[in-house]
Structure 1
């Protein structure tokens, strides 16, 4: 997702109160994890943050595609006393997904199959997450996830129905449409065509066009940033460079593929019994609100709410409006 700059009044403290800092644990040391692709893996490293005092019930934050476990850095409107993720009241956990590049086991560390990276699934990520919660002594969990994190919440609801008490799914479908798969296919093709970083920059530019909306770009990227260079061109180039500096192209391929291959059936979705708050975004062109609402309608105990923002898919990060209060009320 987009890395955002917040007004000074919204910046979190450098060392958030009740934050554990980045921790790591190695799981599946004695018994392997069987991935959905059929590969067994051991010694899976998971990097994570916690906020608040450890207890048997927790709130698990599921990050977006290029996000990290440092919730205080990218979601300050949601984390803090009196907010949806309140470390003075709750035990909040966020882990970097396997396959990513923020401390957990990445694609290059998994044994290859036929010279190719092992194929990861969102259900694999949920199983690893459950093992982490077992390590932390958590017995019941509420989920909060946006974008890829919202899709991962669906995987948790299907994989761990005994563990999940409720879930908040923001700006995410239960499965990718041909439109979303097409965008990811184009991004992966760019990486394949220009390995070494240039392709990743183009992939990010493709993604950024779907993370915002025409209305949003008309408001924020009209005109020229410098003589002879449209503002939108400078913006996309900057976003590509920034992601290249902090992300891994193999992770980008692995995670987008996992999202594309997650295709639960309608009957599976109807089997979910936990209460779920599903949030659509009015101007989201990546996951249109009608699509998000349609999946919510399949869930027996879901309520749907729509964020009325012009800023597209990324609105849950940059223009949250009443969303924090809606989530706080649901979790409470």
Structure 2
């Protein structure tokens, strides 16, 4: 058994950080959550943030792969009075996903299946999120999700159609392409080859290359030796990104969540069954999820609309260079 596979003591992973305003709910106490793999899970801890006055309708924000429930930290330009996520008008909820490492139960706390961490699915994550909404008294939601959060929004649309009124899906396909699965496969291989943090650093470097575009790196990381003599700026930038993630994220969560994304393969017929309005936003320079790929899934949705964000910065443009995106989200996300 490798160091990566050894069970840990129960409780939050060491990488989890306390965040201002974070709350914890203990769910599935009376009846278990049945994972798609067949494993029942009880007493599931879910960490979440809320903004605004509790109400029966909420805007549910679905975070990206290495994100947290603290929307005010990673999407501050979208949260606030007069912004797309306006706590003076909306009840905004965001939960750290099942399998994550920012307060919600991660792989180390879930029952093992065949001696391994359970193979989570995005539908599992949606069912855990639904239980949180019931705990909070929320009966209807508008979804806003980007990257992994956008894929998770597709899972919500299919798993919880009675709850969802509309959705905004940003920079995400409904299914992973061989390209996206291949990138995740390489990242997971790096983690398994070098458990204990070093592999996670390499995994993050691989992912970072797919999150930006050649033009973006040419604009921002074209120097040589400005940070370290004799070393390309792109090299030090990737090293920094790897170190930063390894300091705050759990490698088993990375394995679990990228696997859940890869396994999510809804059929075209399932997508055509979605009956609520959905705004799908592609990003013009996205190498991870090409705009043509994102648009093709939008066209399968009976009430889908497509818009394209023009940016040279690739997949991460929704964070770095949102342009008109806040206006689109504001207009579409409220019933």
Give TM class, smaller chain: over 0.9
Structure 2 partner of 1:43: 43
Structure 1 partner of 2:161: 161
Superposition map of 1:132-147 within 5 A: 132-147=132-147
Structure 1 partner of 2:119: 119
Hey, which bits of structure 1, 4+ residues long, moved more than 6 A?
A: none
**What's the secondary structure of 2:78's corresponding residue?**
coil
**What's the secondary structure of 2:76's corresponding residue?**
coil
Select 1:296's aligned residue among 285, 289, 298.
298
Structure 2 partner of 1:171: 171
Superposition map of 1:241-320 within 5 A: 241-320=243-322
- In structure 1, distance between residues paired with 2:151 and 2:119: 17
Provide, for residues 147-200 of structure 1, a one-character-per-residue CA deviation record: whole Å limited to 9, x for no partner: 000000000000011100000000000000000000000000000000010000
Q: CA deviation at 1:20?
A: 8.0
Question: Is the contact between residue 20 and residue 50 of structure 1 (CA under 8 Å) also seen in structure 2?
Answer: no
- In structure 2, distance between residues paired with 1:257 and 1:316: 23
Q: CA deviation at 1:309?
A: 0.1
Q: CA deviation at 1:227?
A: 2.0
Question: Is 1:64 aligned with 2:60?
Answer: no
- In structure 1, distance between residues paired with 2:150 and 2:57: 20
Structure 2 partner of 1:13: none
Provide, for residues 109-149 of structure 1, a one-character-per-residue CA deviation record: whole Å limited to 9, x for no partner: 00111210011100000001000000000001000000000
- In structure 1, distance between residues paired with 2:151 and 2:69: 17
Structure 2 partner of 1:227: 229
- In structure 1, distance between residues paired with 2:20 and 2:259: 31
- In structure 1, distance between residues paired with 2:299 and 2:115: 42
- In structure 2, distance between residues paired with 1:42 and 1:80: 35
Provide, for residues 242-299 of structure 1, a one-character-per-residue CA deviation record: whole Å limited to 9, x for no partner: 0000000000000000000000000000000010000000000000000000000000
Structure 2 partner of 1:6: none
Superposition map of 1:13-92 within 5 A: 21-92=21-92
**What's the secondary structure of 1:181's corresponding residue?**
helix
- In structure 2, distance between residues paired with 1:90 and 1:246: 30
How many residues were matched structurally? 314
- In structure 2, distance between residues paired with 1:116 and 1:66: 22
TM-score, normalised by the number of residues in structure 2: 0.93
TM-score, normalised by the number of residues in structure 1: 0.94
Question: Is the contact between residue 20 and residue 51 of structure 1 (CA under 8 Å) also seen in structure 2?
Answer: no
Provide, for residues 229-254 of structure 1, a one-character-per-residue CA deviation record: whole Å limited to 9, x for no partner: 00000000000000000000000000
Question: Is the contact between residue 99 and residue 105 of structure 2 (CA under 8 Å) also seen in structure 1?
Answer: yes
Question: Is 1:323 aligned with 2:308?
Answer: no
The runs of 5 or more residues in structure 2 that have no matched partner are 1-18
- In structure 2, distance between residues paired with 1:254 and 1:55: 32
Structure 2 partner of 1:182: 182
Question: Is the contact between residue 144 and residue 333 of structure 2 (CA under 8 Å) also seen in structure 1?
Answer: no
- In structure 1, distance between residues paired with 2:194 and 2:162: 44
**What's the secondary structure of 1:77's corresponding residue?**
helix
Question: Is 1:100 aligned with 2:97?
Answer: no
**What's the secondary structure of 1:117's corresponding residue?**
coil
- In structure 2, distance between residues paired with 1:20 and 1:117: 30
